[in-house]
A and B are shown apart, each in its own frame.
Chain A
Amino acid sequence: MTGSRIGAIIRKDLTEFSRNRFFVFITLLVIVAYVAVFWFLPDSVDETVHIGVSNSVLNTDVGGVTESGTAGFALEMYSSEEELKTAVEEGQNDIVAGIAFPPDFLESAAAGETPTVRLLVPAGLPAEIQLLLEGAVSEIAFGFAGLPPPVDPITEAVVLGVDRAGSQISLQQQMRPLILILVLMVETFALSSLVAIEVQQRTAVAVLATPVRVVDFLAAKGIFGVGLAFSEVVLLGLLIGAFAVNAPAVLVILLLGAVLVTGFGMIAGSYGRDFMGTLLVSMLFMIPLMIPAFGALFPGSSPTWVKALPTYGLVQAIIRVTVDGDSWSQIAPSLLLLAMWGVAAFFTGAFILRRRVATL
């Protein structure tokens, strides 16, 4: 009988959800918009740095620089410095900077003089990139002058961790966990709104005046919340190709993620006094929960405290499976962390909602 009552509450919640135009609109919008954004993003990374070079006298003498092109630089030749400036300012041909050689560059170099070469960079170019380019100018200049660099050591690169040279993570791949988590977050708000409505309109009181136990009521909310978030994120995952690698692991990760956000949905719903209040409380949870996903867009940029956020394990697990192709054993630590946060959030949410309902 408990099962049939829980089932009745879940079906009722589903009816309410499907009749709420806002929830339905947001849900459909999120799926359509995120899928569109995902497939519009570049699915590969151009690892070549395009640099513009001016000086017509050098046009026929680029043989020495071609090797540099294979090492990550591609030179675009311009006939004048003015033309090069325009190209740099407008970002023509993807060039990130320009090198303007003086007209007497070759003669000065041959005479052992030190000619001035101008590096043209667009405003806003990071200082680190500018320094890197200044170093590259010398190498390119030696190449044009047909001279060997003063010191030419053999550099042996040792990559610690996954060597991404030649197979960089595309923006599309980087965005995948963020999109999945954004969808889970939206469903946090949907669930919290449904819970808040039940609390505000005191329909929970009417339900609990029947033989329904509080634990049945909470179980129904939990199952509905997890089911809603999981089904939507799985649908989105299918549309953005999240199950191409180790689909069972991705499913488990998303299920645990749905449990996690359902817990936060119940907390937000318990404290929301009206629509705006619920939205505000939901946002208070959503913003910090999304930080690890944003951090994944810029690897190495996240401070240590991000690891303490509940969604860190979720993001790491998704990335390691979908991007790195890690096995179950390799993602176990992230999965365990996610499971711990999921269980903690779910039971905390249920506890707070129980207290809220008891005081109605």
Chain B
Amino acid sequence: MADNGWVTTSSNPAAALAIDVAGVRFAYGDTVAVDDVSFSLPPGEILGFLGPNGAGKSTTIKMLTGQLRPGAGTIEILGMDMPGQREEIQARLGVCFEEKNLYLSMTGRENLVFFSKLFDVRDFEPEPLMERVGLSARLDDRVSEYSKGMRQRLMMARALINTPDVLLLDEPTDGLDPVSAIGIRDLIRNEAARGAAVLLTTHDMHEADALSDRVAFINQGTILTIDTPDNLKLEYGRRSVRIRTRQGDGVHEQVIPLDESGTEDRIRDAVSAEGLMTIHTEEATLEDIFVEFAGRGLAG
């Protein structure tokens, strides 16, 4: 389907859509936060919403969770209308919020058991879930005693209580150390492999690149493009080779674009020259491509 003029590719186009957003708009007073946003997401796919702070990522998530009602456009989740069938949808949603909105005076176990009751999950056992996020040893500690990263992992565990069909993750690895972040990314991939549609927002290009089947660039409330990271890099990125050679007492460095005429000769000359130190191939990052689209970086 067409998303703001861009062709959407899907890893599984034949499957029914888990999320189908069409022409959604939301404004805080006179400030338009999200404008004519459209995208779709089949089950089992991870879509990364990539954009700087204030781009409209969290507002989009809030509309998907039913917190905000769109001013225009339609949202269908699992074939149901949001917010018209809010409760039915929410029963099958898992949400990891950007803010660590946990009950601090309660233990990890109590937090999970409480939310399992809200989801009406029968015979809920928190241990396996806490094991998956590496918190089984802290199950009965109060959340106030958890580190920031542990709280984030508990947030992920909470999002999985109801074995959701759709996961909405707002900055899911924010504040995590690299090892914990890898664990959470594995968890997200496993959920997608199980069949859950995953929409994650992030301003971390590495995260989006590592996790997403597709990424959507969003800036100033508008989706600029949606595609797979590889397609974006191939289509909009510049590939090059960086060669460093020793010349006398100094070091000479040259960057040779791979997509220009005469590239082969230039590389051959550089490699055959005396004093060759290093050769690196380089490809554009998602941030480079984002800058091309938005005219600004992802930071801030």
* Chain A interfacial positions (CB closer than 8 Å to B): 1, 4-5, 8-9, 12, 15-16, 19-20, 201-203, 205-213, 360
With A205-B101, A206-B101, A209-B65 already in contact, the answer to whether A4 and B106 are too (CB < 8 A) is no
- Please name all residues of chain B whose beta carbon is closer than 8 Å to the beta carbon of A5 when the two chains form the complex: 117-118, 120
Residue of B nearest to A206 (CB): B101
Q: Confirm or deny: B66 has a beta carbon within 8 angstroms of a beta carbon on chain A.
A: yes
Given A206-B97, A209-B93, answer yes or no on A19-B105 (Cβ-Cβ < 8 Å). yes
B263 cross-chain contacts in A, Cβ below 8 A: none
Which residues of chain B are near A20, meaning CB under 8 Å? 105
List residues 87-125 of chain B with CB under 8 A from any CB of chain A. Answer: 87-88, 90-91, 93, 95, 97, 99, 101-106, 110, 114-115, 117-120
A-B contacts besides A15-B110, A209-B93, A360-B67, 13 pairs, CB < 8 Å: A1-B120, A4-B117, A8-B117, A12-B103, A202-B99, A203-B102, A206-B101, A206-B115, A206-B158, A209-B65, A209-B97, A210-B118, A210-B119
Q: How far is the CA of A209 from the CA of B91 in the complex (A)?
A: 9
- A217 nearest CB neighbor, chain B only: B118
Give Cα A209 to B161, complex, Å: 13
Q: Are A207 and B118 in contact, CB atoms less than 8 angstroms apart?
A: yes
A211–B106 CB distance below 8 A: no
The residues of A that contact B93 with a CB separation of less than 8 Å are: 209
Binding site for A on B (CB under 8 A): 65-67, 87-88, 90-91, 93, 95, 97, 99, 101-106, 110, 114-115, 117-120, 142, 158
Q: Which of A4, A9, A12 has a CB less than 8 Å from the CB of B120? A: A4
Residue on B nearest A8 in the bound complex, by CB: B117
Chosen A-B contacts, 22 in total, with CB atoms closer than 8 Å, are A4-B117, A5-B117, A9-B118, A12-B103, A16-B105, A20-B105, A201-B99, A201-B101, A201-B103, A201-B104, A203-B103, A205-B67, A205-B101, A206-B102, A207-B118, A209-B66, A209-B67, A209-B93, A209-B95, A210-B91, A210-B118, A210-B119
Q: How far is the CB of B162 from chain A (nearest CB, A)?
A: 8
A202 near B101: Cβ-Cβ < 8 Å: yes
Report the Cα distance A16→B142, complex, angstroms. Answer: 11
Q: Which residues of A are found within 8 Å of B66, using beta-carbon distances?
A: 208-209
Chain B residues closer than 8 Å to A206, beta-carbon distance:
95, 97, 101-102, 115, 158
Taking a contact as CB atoms under 8 Å apart, the answer to whether B90 and A211 are in contact is: yes
B87 touches A211 (CB 8 A): yes
Question: What residue in chain B is nearest A17 (Cβ atoms)?
Answer: B105
Pick the contact of B106 from A9, A12, A205 — CB < 8 Å?
A12
Please measure, in the bound complex, the distance between the C-alpha atom of A27 and the C-alpha atom of B160, giving whole angstroms: 38
The smallest beta-carbon distance between B175 and chain A, in angstroms, is: 16
Assembly CA distance A213 to B87 (angstroms):
7
| Complex partner residue of B105 from A1, A15, A208, A212, CB under 8 angstroms | A15
Give min CB distance, A129 to chain B, whole Å: 55
> In the complex the two chains form, what is the Cα distance from A58 to B130 in whole Å?
93
Residues from chain B with a CB closer than 8 A to the CB of A1 are: 120
Q: Quick check: B115 and A210 within 8 Å, CB to CB?
A: yes
- Knowing A202-B99, A202-B101, A211-B90 touch, does A15 contact B106 (C-beta < 8 A)? yes
Chain A nearest CB, measured from B219 CB (Å):
25
Cβ–Cβ contact A8 & B118, under 8 A: yes
Instruction: Report Cα–Cα, A203/B102, bound state, in Å.
Output: 6
Cα A202 to Cα B120 with chains together (Å) = 22
Q: Which residue of A12, A205, A209 has the most chain B CB atoms within 10 A of its CB atom? A: A209
Chain B residues whose C-beta falls within 8 Å of the C-beta of A203 in the assembled complex:
101-103
Chain B residue at smallest Cβ distance from A13: B103
Establish whether residues B106 and A19, one from each chain, have CB atoms under 8 Å apart when the complex forms: yes
A16 to B107, CA, bound (A): 11
Residues from chain A with a CB closer than 8 A to the CB of B120 are 1, 4-5, 211
Bound Cα distance from A206 to B100, whole angstroms = 10
* Chain B residues with CB under 8 A of A9: 118
Verify A212–B118 contact, CB threshold 8 A.
Answer: yes
Most buried by A among B88, B93, B99: B99
List B contacts of A4 (CB < 8 A): 117, 120
B97 near A205 with CB under 8 A, answer yes
User: How many Å lie between the Cα of A210 and that of B95 in the bound state?
Assistant: 9
B281: min CB distance to chain A, Å: 44
A20 to B142, CA, bound (A): 13
Q: How far is the CB of A22 from chain B (nearest CB, A)?
A: 11
B90 touches A8 (CB 8 A): no
How near does chain B come to A214, taking the closest CB pair, in angstroms? 10
- Report whether B103 and A16 are in contact in the complex, using a CB–CB cutoff of 8 Å: yes
A202–B95 CA distance with the chains assembled, in angstroms: 14
Task: Compute how far the CA of A19 lies from the CA of B145 in the bound complex, rounded to whole angstroms.
Answer: 14
Which B residues lie within 8 Å of A213 (CB)?
A: 87
Question: In the complex, which residue of chain B has the Cβ closest to the Cβ of A20?
Answer: B105
- Roughly how many angstroms separate A202 CA and B93 CA in the complex, as a whole number? 18
Complex Cα gap A5–B142 (Å): 22
Q: How far is the CA of A212 from the CA of B31 in the complex (A)?
A: 30
The chain A residue with its CB closest to the CB of B117 is A8
Residues of A contacting B117 in the complex (Cβ-Cβ under 8 angstroms): 4-5, 8
Q: How far is the CA of A1 from the CA of B90 in the complex (A)?
A: 14
Q: Taking CB as reference atom, which chain B residue is nearest A19?
A: B105
Q: Give chain A residues whose Cβ lies under 8 Å from the Cβ of B90.
A: 209-211
Shortest Cβ distance from residue B109 to the other chain A in the assembled complex, whole angstroms? 12
Chain B residues near A201: list those with CB within 8 A.
99, 101-104
Contacts of B88 in A (CB 8 A): 211
Alpha-carbon distance between A323 and B151 when the two chains are bound, in angstroms: 55
A12 vs B91: C-alpha distance in the bound complex, in angstroms? 20
Q: Which A residue sits closest to B69, measured CB to CB?
A: A358
How distant is A25 from chain B, measured CB to nearest CB, in Å? 15
User: B103 — which chain A residues lie within 8 A by C-beta?
Assistant: 12, 16, 201, 203
Chain B, residue nearest A216 (CB): B118
Contact across chains for A12 and B114 when beta carbons are under 8 A apart: yes
5 cross-chain pairs, A with B, having the tightest CB-CB distances, nearest first: A8-B117, A210-B118, A19-B105, A202-B101, A211-B87
A5 to B117, CA, bound (A): 6
A325 to B: closest C-beta gap in Å: 45
Complex Cα–Cα for A210 and B65 (A)? 9
